[in-house]
Amino acid sequence: MNGRKIQSSGPAGLSALAGALLVAGLATSASAQNFAEYLGGGFLTVNDGCAQYGWSGTHQVMVRMEPQGVGGNPADMTQMALLFSTGTVAVRLNLDRGVRTVYAPLQATYVWNGPWTPEAPTTTFAFSPNGTWPLSGGTEMRRLTVIIDNFNEHAGCSAQLQANLQRG
């Protein structure tokens, strides 16, 4: 994007920007011959520490994941996108140590009023063993449970993601 910040003109501009980024991501992924992708949805619930940043309660979310090492995906990188009605959180993680481990993203991009990619993301992800992780190669429904600390790069804001995914 040549270092220029993209400005949206209200909700319509934001929706168009998020849609364009999603289509670009899907087109890039579709060009890969062999990859495994899981799609689904669920909800994200934030704690009281998020209220100062404008987040409260429960939010519906669509989830897209390409787990590492499954079906031709890279062995050292899981891609995950959380698509909300108001924006998108996209991260790349190396989940090489299994569940019960806290992971910092290799890269994170947030799209709310325009895209933002922090140089050193502070958001962390912990995949719960209460979910069906790791995702295998099968097509059966999978349950994903993730604790996200410093959600959206907000210190002290924690969220819990509950989602059901199925291989696309």
Angle at 150 between CA 9 and CA 63, to 5 degrees: 65
pLDDT of amino acid 7 = 41
Yes or no: say if 123 and 105 are a contact pair by the CB < 8 Å rule.
yes
Residue 165, number of CB atoms within 10 A of its CB: 22
pLDDT beneath 50: ranges in the chain: 1-12, 14, 16, 18-21, 23-24, 26-32
Q: Would you state the structure tokens that stand for residue 56, as one six-digit string?
A: 């409260």
The predicted structure's pLDDT at residue 29: 45
- pTM of the complete model: 0.77
**Under a CB-based contact definition with an 8 Å cutoff, are residues 158 and 165 in contact?**
no
Q: What is the per-residue pLDDT for 50?
A: 97
**Neighbour tally for 27: CB within 10 Å:** 9
pLDDT for 9 equals 45
The domain locations on the chain are 10-167
What does the pLDDT read at residue 138?
61
Q: How much is the pLDDT for 32?
A: 42
**How far is C-alpha 33 from the chain's CA centre?**
23
Query: Residue 96: its pLDDT value, please?
Result: 86
Helix%, strand%, coil% for the chain, nearest 5: 20, 35, 45
Per the document, the length of the chain is 168
Q: Where are the beta strands (DSSP E) in the chain?
A: 38-46, 58-66, 78-83, 88-93, 102-103, 107-111, 115-116, 124-127, 142-149, 158-167
Give the whole-angstrom CA distance, residue 17 versus residue 8.
7
